[in-house]
């Protein structure tokens, strides 16, 4: 809602804005904020309108595979077999319900996970700066905005320091627009030319982001009353391109559908020409073959595999914002990682201080140390807030480390901050690499500048510069982040001069060395990356020597690449941003192609983007980490953008596919492992579904070639699909990633999920062994009933045309029941074999135990129960033309899964030999 004022908010002087909006510079009290929250409502946009649940359910009934089954059912009705038609349509409905439920649950999961990372806003409450969930913001709140923040509500600026906004979400313009806190005169009465609110230079609007600088503002509109809320199309879902996984699944559907239609056409022709069936009988059998070859469980299994891994990744501190990004993670071949906070602990602490007058003896001049630290703290926007267990830091980790060091030395920091009031700020940006403030002191105006030593030393007097550079390099070689601090006196007339003019002829106060220790788990994570064939490239804004020292400490320097004969065969090469500018695109691609360990230091945002584009042009699948607004282009350009959840800006999070809740490089490696697990699970599910098709086709082929009765009816084939494919396949989709996944090279982006080896395994090994077992059991069942092969051939025409007597029909039902049971048992063996592409099914069963994947065992239990109902429950038995199997057939049923597992183990031994 909006808090109204008697005149346009932009026309009110900055100092009068708090009173006009019934607030103060100390912010609102908690009680007043709660009252306004109840009055105006939460600061969120109205819920986005989505397709109704009914329409979304209909979507699951009209996709390509579903349409094929609808037509098949209609053909069954036309052929005079309504039972078959209803059974086929029941398959469509059951599959549609399950797919809809899985899609709905996956959406709810993603929504719930996103709520676990609420957007935070810094504001004043009860006179103190604090952080709150942006949804609790109300009109009248005084908020703080810095580079990378997303503006949480419409607000009027009361202070702006070099502030610029990215208004592209409202205007489409990508160039940042400057903002100020001065009042804007209202237009003359009667003037019909109106300036849009978004163009008022002293307003910041919800949905936009801070491109640079710093500002403070008072909120006047929240939620649906903001400019963002008024533009309805801005809340509509963005249409995105089809993902790699969706392309792969589409290819699989088209391939299997083509196989199904071809097999159906062949079935119809052969049964009509050689078996002696009539046109309608041939059509019924062809429809059954088509239905048997359609993978009804494919889409829900893919969705389930993605959704389960999203939940698992969230438990490991990786929040996935887009389901299909999980699969892309599995193909990542290059990780471009930030250093600070990702490879390191993000626990900055001041370790050493170097003073020009002390030479190489840090800490000799204690007065100089105090002056240096206090100046650095005055040129800072961080704050330390008292809390129950000590103090809580708000702001940049480097700046908070300076405050902690000053407070630990008892330098009277708070007194100096109150005494030296700031009159102007020149904010830090990634190109200037420095920040300056102008403060009032007893001696007059002072400019204090802190930033990267080499850039800052160029603006200091030449005296002692070489000594300072040497000291900087020495500290950097030990892995320290070094900042320089300088100052100079100003005349009153210089206060509003341009930044480049102010930051000249500075006097160096000294260097401050801070250390951010590497995360202890990072060396092992990097080792796993190299073992998995993934290149790790460090991309940082730090000094090259600092970056190289950290690279050595985390093992990036000495870790041999895959195939290296010596640890130093491919040493780390450190390239700084100014050097990168001199490298052509062709040379850069060659460098990236043949070097596995690279460190890019002093990188500007456009250089990071160029690096990502160069890697992608080589065919690499690139994951990029980032936390700032300037990282957004690289995050969007990467195959997988990974933003920091703890210190990352709102803009970076919105641009990313994955948000790390712990900002830890090791979590990226865990996410890649889960991504590979998704692909592996889909490849486990596919042979399981395809294998039963061979066993379902075998009875018809035997009928044509050997001229015996068909071992299965069309309804029994449908029962196999419904009873064996869906639930166990979903269980395979929920398998945990195998331990050996991270010892394999990355999967090529173009590699198909349904490749030739997988089809050969499914059809010629698993499917063929299952078919041989079921057909052998079928013939042995006849033999146990005293009917040999010759007599069986004579009985075939009678059974086909419905002229057989009751005894012959009962014998056929017994043999069909045995064949059906063997196929179901064989599918259990297929499920066990498919749990691993390389490891023995028996070894895998022993090592993984019975509790590793409860969903798989639940699916197997369900298919056993379904088979028992078909055999022993009269209503279903009569419908499926089945009877309880003879006890003499039980050994054949129990042997079926063992035969299938042994056959696949033989194939695995031949592949690995």
Q: CA–CA separation, 100 vs 735, rounded Å?
A: 22
Of 696, 691, 853, 679, nearest to 774 (Cα)? 696
8 Å CB contact between 306 and 674: no
Q: Can you name the residues that pair with 445 across neighbouring β-strands? A: 440, 490
Q: Render 821-881 in DSSP notation, one character per residue.
A: HHHHHHHHHHHHHHT-SSS-HHHHHHHHTTTS-HHHHHHHHHHHHHHHHHHH-HHHHHHHT
| Closest to 297 in 3D by CA, of 853, 690, 769 | 690
Q: Are the CB atoms for 206 and 151 separated by under 8 Å? A: yes
- Pair of tokens at residue 665: 């490089």
Give the residue among 481, 372, 377 at the shortest CA–CA distance from 422. 377
Catalytic residue among 166, 338, 663, 725: 338
Tokens of 816: 């069909």
Q: Specify the residue for token string 């492992």.
A: 673
| Long-range CB contact pairs, 354-362, < 8 A, 24+ | 354/468, 354/471, 354/475, 354/510, 354/511, 354/512, 354/513, 355/509, 355/510, 356/464, 356/467, 356/468, 356/508, 356/509, 356/510, 359/467, 360/471
Dihedral sign computed on CA atoms, order 299, 302, 308, 311: negative
Characterize the bridge pairing of strands 120-125 and 128-133.
Answer: antiparallel
Residue 142, C-beta contacts closer than 8 angstroms, at least 6 positions apart: 18, 23, 24, 25, 26, 27, 123, 124, 158, 216, 217, 218, 219
207 in Cβ contact with 180 (< 8 Å):
no
**Tokens linked to 408:** 């630990």
N-to-C CA span, the chain: 70
Backbone φ and ψ for 410, nearest 5 degrees, come out as: 55, 55
Q: Which helix (H) or strand (E) holds 387?
A: strand 383-387
| Bridge partners for 54 per DSSP | none
Q: How far apart, in Å, are the Cα atoms of 206 and each of 125, 126, 167? A: 20, 24, 10
CA–CA separation, 21 and 33 (whole Å): 13
**Contact indicator for 633, 209 with CB cutoff of 8 Å:** no
Q: Kindly calculate the radius of gyration of the chain based on its CA atoms and give it in whole angstroms.
A: 35
Residue-by-residue DSSP string for 80-91: T-HHHHHHHHHH
Place of tokens 């005894």: 807
Calpha distance 701→703 (Å, rounded): 5
- Residue ranges in 271-409 assigned as alpha helix (H): 279-293, 298-315, 325-329, 366-378, 397-408
Report the DSSP beta bridge partners of residue 344: 518
* Torsion angle in degrees (nearest 10) through CA of 240, 242, 244, 248: 160
Rounded (10°) CA dihedral 407, 411, 417, 423: -120
Which residue(s) pair with 422 in the sheet?
Answer: 439
* Catalytic site includes residue 657: no
Q: Do you know the residue count of the chain?
A: 913
The residues that are catalytic are 338
């Amino acid at each position: 809602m909006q808090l109204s004022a008697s005149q346009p908010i932009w026309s009110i002087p900055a100092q009068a804005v708090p009173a006009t909006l019934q607030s103060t510079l100390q912010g609102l009290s908690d009680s007043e904020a709660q009252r306004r929250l109840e009055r105006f409502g939460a600061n969120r946009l109205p819920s986005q309108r989505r397709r109704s649940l009914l329409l979304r359910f209909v979507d699951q009934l009209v996709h390509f595979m579903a349409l094929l089954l609808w037509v098949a059912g209609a053909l069954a009705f036309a052929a005079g077999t309504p039972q078959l038609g209803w059974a086929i349509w029941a398959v469509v409905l059951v599959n549609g319900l399950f797919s809809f439920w899985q899609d709905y649950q996956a959406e709810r999961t993603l929504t719930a996970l996103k709520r676990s990372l609420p957007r935070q806003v810094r504001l004043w409450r009860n006179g103190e700066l604090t952080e709150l969930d942006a949804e609790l913001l109300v009109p009248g709140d005084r908020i703080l905005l810095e580079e990378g923040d997303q503006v949480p509500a419409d607000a009027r600026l009361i202070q702006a320091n070099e502030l610029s906004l990215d208004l592209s979400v409202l205007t489409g313009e990508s160039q940042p627009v400057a903002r100020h806190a001065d009042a804007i005169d209202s237009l003359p009465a009667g003037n019909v030319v109106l300036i849009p609110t978004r163009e008022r230079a002293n307003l910041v609007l919800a949905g936009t982001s801070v491109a640079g600088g710093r500002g403070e503002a008072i909120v006047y509109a929240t939620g649906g009353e903001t400019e963002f809320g008024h533009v309805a199309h801005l809340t509509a879902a963005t249409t995105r391109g089809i993902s790699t996984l969706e392309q792969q699944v589409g290819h699989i559907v088209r391939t299997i559908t083509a196989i199904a239609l071809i097999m159906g056409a062949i079935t119809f022709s052969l049964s009509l020409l050689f078996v002696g069936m009539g046109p309608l009988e041939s059509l019924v059998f062809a429809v059954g073959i088509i239905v048997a070859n359609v993978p009804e469980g494919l889409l829900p299994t893919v969705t389930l595999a993605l959704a389960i891994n999203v939940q698992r990744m969230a438990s490991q501190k990786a929040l996935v914002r887009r389901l299909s990004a999980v699969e892309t993670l599995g193909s990542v071949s290059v990780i471009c990682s930030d250093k600070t906070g990702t490879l390191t602990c993000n626990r900055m602490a001041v370790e050493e201080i170097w003073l020009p007058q002390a030479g190489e003896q840090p800490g000799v001049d204690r007065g100089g140390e105090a002056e240096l630290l206090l100046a650095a703290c005055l040129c800072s926007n961080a704050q330390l807030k008292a809390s129950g267990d000590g103090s809580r830091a708000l702001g940049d980790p480097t700046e908070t480390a300076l405050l902690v060091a000053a407070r630990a030395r008892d330098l009277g920091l708070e007194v100096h901050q109150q005494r030296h009031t700031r009159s102007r700020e020149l904010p830090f940006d990634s190109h200037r690499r420095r920040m300056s403030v102008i403060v009032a002191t007893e001696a007059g105006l002072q400019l204090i500048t802190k930033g990267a030593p080499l850039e800052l030393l160029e603006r200091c007097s030449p005296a002692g510069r070489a000594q300072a550079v040497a000291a900087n390099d020495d500290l950097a070689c030990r892995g320290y982040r070094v900042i320089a601090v300088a100052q100079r006196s100003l005349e009153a007339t210089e206060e509003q001069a341009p930044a480049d003019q102010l930051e000249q002829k500075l006097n160096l106060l000294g260097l401050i060395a801070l250390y951010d220790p590497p995360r202890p788990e990072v060396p092992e994570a990097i080792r796993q990356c190299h073992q998995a064939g993934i290149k790790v490239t460090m991309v940082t804004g730090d000094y090259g020597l600092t970056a190289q020292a950290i690279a050595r400490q985390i093992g990036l320097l000495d870790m041999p690449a895959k195939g290296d004969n010596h640890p130093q065969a491919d040493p780390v090469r450190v390239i700084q941003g100014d050097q990168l500018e001199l490298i052509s695109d062709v040379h850069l691609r060659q460098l990236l192609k043949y070097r596995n360990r690279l460190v890019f230091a002093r990188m500007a945002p456009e250089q990071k983007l160029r690096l990502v584009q160069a890697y992608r042009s080589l065919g690499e699948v690139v994951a990029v980490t980032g936390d700032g607004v300037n990282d957004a282009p690289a995050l969007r350009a990467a195959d997988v953008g990974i933003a920091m959840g703890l210190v990352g800006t709102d803009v970076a999070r919105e641009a990313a596919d994955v948000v790390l809740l712990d900002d830890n490089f090791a979590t990226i490696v865990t996410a890649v492992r889960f991504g590979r697990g998704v692909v592996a699970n889909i490849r486990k599910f596919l042979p399981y579904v395809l294998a039963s098709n061979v066993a379902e086709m075998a009875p018809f082929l035997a009928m044509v070639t050997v001229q015996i009765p068909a071992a299965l009816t069309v309804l029994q084939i449908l029962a196999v699909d419904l009873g064996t494919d869906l639930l166990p396949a979903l269980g395979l989709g929920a398998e945990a990633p195998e331990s050996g996944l991270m010892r394999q090279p990355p999967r090529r982006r173009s590699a198909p999920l349904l490749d030739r080896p997988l089809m050969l395994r499914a059809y010629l090994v698993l499917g063929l062994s299952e078919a041989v077992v079921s057909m052998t059991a079928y013939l042995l069942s006849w033999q146990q009933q005293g009917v040999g092969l010759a007599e069986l051939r004579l009985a075939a025409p009678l059974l086909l045309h419905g002229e057989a007597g009751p005894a012959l029909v009962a014998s056929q039902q017994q043999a069909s029941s045995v064949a059906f049971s063997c196929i179901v048992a064989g599918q259990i063996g297929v499920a066990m074999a498919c749990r691993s592409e390389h490891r023995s099914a028996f070894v895998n069963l022993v090592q993984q135990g019975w509790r590793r994947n409860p969903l798989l065992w639940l699916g197997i239990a369900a298919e056993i129960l379904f088979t028992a109902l078909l055999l022993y429950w009269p209503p279903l038995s009569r419908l499926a033309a089945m009877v309880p199997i003879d006890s003499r057939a039980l050994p054949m049923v129990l042997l079926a899964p063992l035969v299938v597992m042994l056959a696949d183990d033989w194939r695995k031994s031949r592949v690995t030999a």
